[in-house]
Structures are given as C-alpha cells and as structure tokens.
Amino acid sequence: MMKKLLGIVVLGLLLGGSAYAGWFSDPLEKCMDRLIKGSYSGDEQYSAPAAKFCKGADKSTDKCMDRLIKGSYRGDEQYSAAAAKMCLGN
C-alpha cells in the first residue's frame, strides 16, 4: 500500500512538474524568454538585448509587464521590450 502511494505521488510530481515550473523560475529568465518570444520573434540571437532590458527583474516584473501590455499596448506581446524597459527603468 505504501509503495503504491509513493508511486502515485512521484508520478504526480513528474507529470505535474511542468505546470509548476513557472512558479520556481528565475524572474530574469522569465523576462528574457518573454522578450525573445514576443519582441524578437523567438530569435535567440537577441539574448543580449533581452538581458539588458531585463536587468534587475524581480517577481513583480512579469505582473507589471502584463499590466502594461494589456492596458497600454492592447495586448500586443511585440511590445514586451518596451514594457520591460518601463517596468525596470532600464
């Protein structure tokens, strides 16, 4: 019985781990991923500018960017770099 319960818990963590990965990711990494995907069309060659815009990102940065993009930029993720610059003052 105990082995079954342990197996279920481990399987649940493995399958559900990806859903919770965002909770534990680094704010700088989240910001950079968002900029590369939104403003730079997924082109990893823009990692350096993304890092520059995201310098100093913390856990409130993503929420600030969400609010700016939704309110000021009509939900257009192409303005991620502008939102990061405004939220972080970089």
pLDDT digits (tens, 9 = 90+) for 64-87: 999 999 999 999 999 999 999 999
φ, ψ (nearest 5 deg) of residue 84: -60, -40
For residue 40 the two structure tokens come to 């730079």
Are 89 and 68 contacting, i.e. CB atoms less than 8 angstroms apart?
no
Q: How many domains does the chain have?
A: 1
pLDDT > 70 in the chain, percent: 73
- Kindly state whether residue 36 falls inside one of the protein's structural domains: yes
Closest CA to 78 of 42, 51, 53, 49: 42
- Kindly state whether residue 46 falls inside one of the protein's structural domains: yes
φ, ψ (nearest 5 deg) of residue 76: -85, 110
Domain that holds residue 36: 27-90
- Kindly state whether residue 70 falls inside one of the protein's structural domains: yes
- Kindly state whether residue 13 falls inside one of the protein's structural domains: no
What is the reported pTM? 0.71
Number of helices followed by number of strands (H, E) in the chain: 5, 0
- Kindly state whether residue 14 falls inside one of the protein's structural domains: no
